[in-house]
């Protein structure tokens, strides 16, 4: 008598591997479409850190400072609004197991960043940004590497490794230089792979 644990003979190892490859292929195609989010958030974070560096290191007139502030605010609002619209639109389509898993990875990342900030403040009783900054970069690098590994996309994987290396290097510098290094990390790990992914979506 067959049980629920009985595996049909026709579903052999080669077919199971084919199913896995097909799942990865579908998820990779979705990742190519999602490259627009890599581009959007990559440029947003790049602008955020590069403008912070300039505002800290250079003497700028008040109108220029306000222009930086307003531009950052407008870009952030647009990024959040577009991301919510895109996610809601995609949620109406077929969801893959890998895609859902990656969603939890990035949601968990946000939670870990918040908790890390609270833990550092509770222990040191002060906001130590020079310590917090490299740690935040390390978490982002971890999530990027996991994404690249699951999707079998080497450029994202390499970008995550580069992000991690820059996180370590930044620990040797003061906050302004850390900010500049993180701007470079977002460029390498998100903006460049995002543009390449999005360009490949129709191939």
Q: CB-based contacts of 50: which residues, under 8 Å, 6+ apart?
A: 180, 183
44-96 pLDDT per residue, tens: 999 999 999 988 888 888 888 888 888 888 988 998 898 888 777 766 665 66
- Structure tokens that stand for 146 in this block: 């996991």
When mean pLDDT is compared over 14-23, 27-36, 55-64, the highest value belongs to: 55-64
Q: What 8-state DSSP symbol labels residue 93?
A: S
104-117 pLDDT per residue, tens: 888 899 999 999 99
Specify the pLDDT at position 189.
93
Helix segments in the chain, DSSP class H:
13-33, 35-57, 62-91, 97-124, 129-151, 154-170, 175-186, 192-199
- 194 in Cβ contact with 35 (< 8 Å): yes
114-148 pLDDT per residue, tens: 999 999 999 998 889 999 999 999 999 999 999 88
Place of tokens 């627009």: 36
Specify the pLDDT at position 110.
92
């Amino acid at each position: 008598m067959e049980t629920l644990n009985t595996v049909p003979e026709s579903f052999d190892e080669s077919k199971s591997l084919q199913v896995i490859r097909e799942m990865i292929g579908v998820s990779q195609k979705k990742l190519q479409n999602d490259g627009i989010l890599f581009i959007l958030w990559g440029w947003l974070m790049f602008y955020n850190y590069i403008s912070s560096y300039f505002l800290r290191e250079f003497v700028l007139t008040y109108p220029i400072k306000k222009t930086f502030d307003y531009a950052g605010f407008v870009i952030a609002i647009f990024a959040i609004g577009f991301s919510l619209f895109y996610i809601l639109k995609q949620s109406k389509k077929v969801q893959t197991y890998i895609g859902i898993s990656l969603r939890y990875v990035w949601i968990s990342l946000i939670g870990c960043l918040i908790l890390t900030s609270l833990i550092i403040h509770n222990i040191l009783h002060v906001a130590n940004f020079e310590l917090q900054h490299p740690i935040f970069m390390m978490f982002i690098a971890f999530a990027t590497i996991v994404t690249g590994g699951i999707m079998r996309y080497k450029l994202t994987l390499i970008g995550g490794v580069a992000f991690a290396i820059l996180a370590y290097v930044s620990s040797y510098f003061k906050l302004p230089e850390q900010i500049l290094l993180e701007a470079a990390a977002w460029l390498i790990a998100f903006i460049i792979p995002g543009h390449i992914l999005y360009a490949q979506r129709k191939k």
